[in-house]
Amino acid sequence: MRILLIEDDDQTAKLVKQSLVKHGYDVDVSNDGQNGFKHAVVGGFDVLVIDRMLPGLDGLSIVQRLRAARVSSPILFLTAVGGIEDRIEGFESGADDYLVKPFALGELVARVAALGRRPPIAHEDFYYRIADLEVDLIKREIKRGGEIIRLQPREFRMLEILVRNRGRVVTRSMLLEQVWDLELDPKTSIVQTNVSRLRLKIDRPGDIPLIRTVRGLGYRIDDKD
């Protein structure tokens, strides 16, 4: 398995590379954002491990540009920036996993191995159409009836979870964990409040209702009754 590590700290890069190579992986290293991005676009890597704070081009920008360029390799953020909002921002940029420094090398290897076992992602997995609602997860573009809909980051994340589970129930607990990265009482009103705001933007007057409440369970998105 080929891995690209984009990390500007030489000591960290050395330790990570040694650990991954020890476990049989082929590892390339870039120590700045611009070169790392160029390498990632053309390299055909199985997993990308990217620091957030990089010279030349920061990690968030790298991930956003890679996803816009249709690079579907799994991405692990490796960073000292570990607040909840920072992690949410990282996932919303297109990353698949997030490991906060300081970290155990064994955990890093395990996470890389797990990402490497994921099946390749087709472009279709980033584009969804339900009735006249179009969701492009790479461009982060939402349209209903051909009109652009502007969503806040958490609204976009909620819609992404719903469309990826089209026709299936998404529970309140799932939304709490995946949108807010929190384990709270599922009876809290934060989910209902934000789903209501999302509905106002997606299901406008005259539109076919797509976001449906499944009483006692959660929500689902579909164009079928």
Residue spans of alpha helices (H) in the chain = 10-22, 33-43, 59-68, 84-93, 105-116, 153-164, 172-179, 190-202
- What pLDDT does 140 receive? 82
Predicted confidence band at 203 (pLDDT cuts at 50, 70, 90)? very high
Q: Would you say domain 123-221 falls under CATH 1.10.10.10?
A: yes
The tokens describing 188, both together, are 């809290």
Q: What does the mean pLDDT of the chain come to?
A: 86
Report whether pLDDT(124) > 60: no
CATH number for region 2-116:
3.40.50.2300
Containing 171, the helix (H) or strand (E) segment is strand 170-171
- What pLDDT does 187 receive? 59
Q: Regarding predicted confidence, which is higher, 83 or 16? A: 16
Neighbours of 54 (CB within 10 A): 25
Torsion of CA 194, 195, 201, 205, to 10 degrees: -130
- What pLDDT does 183 receive? 58
Domain positions in the chain are 2-116, 123-221
Predicted confidence band at 130 (pLDDT cuts at 50, 70, 90)? very high
Report whether pLDDT(133) > 60: yes
Q: Regarding predicted confidence, which is higher, 122 or 158? A: 158
- What pLDDT does 66 receive? 87
- What pLDDT does 16 receive? 92
- Do residues 73 and 47 lie in contact, with contact meaning Cβ atoms separated by under 8 Å? yes
141-193, pLDDT tens digit by residue? Answer: 899 999 999 988 889 989 988 998 888 998 888 888 878 766 555 556 888 89
- What pLDDT does 182 receive? 62
Q: Angle formed by the axes of helices 153-164 and 190-202, to 10°?
A: 80
- What pLDDT does 120 receive? 54
Tell me what the mean pLDDT of segment 77-93 comes to.
Answer: 79
Containing 221, the helix (H) or strand (E) segment is strand 218-221
3-state secondary structure of 126: helix
The closest alpha carbon to 52, from 90, 9, 102, 5, belongs to 90
- Whether 2-116 and 123-221 share one fold: the answer is no
Containing 26, the helix (H) or strand (E) segment is strand 26-30
The tokens describing 30, both together, are 């870039």
Residue whose entry in the numeric block shows the structure tokens 């997995």: 125
Amino acid at 70: R
Tell me what the mean pLDDT of segment 55-81 comes to.
Answer: 85
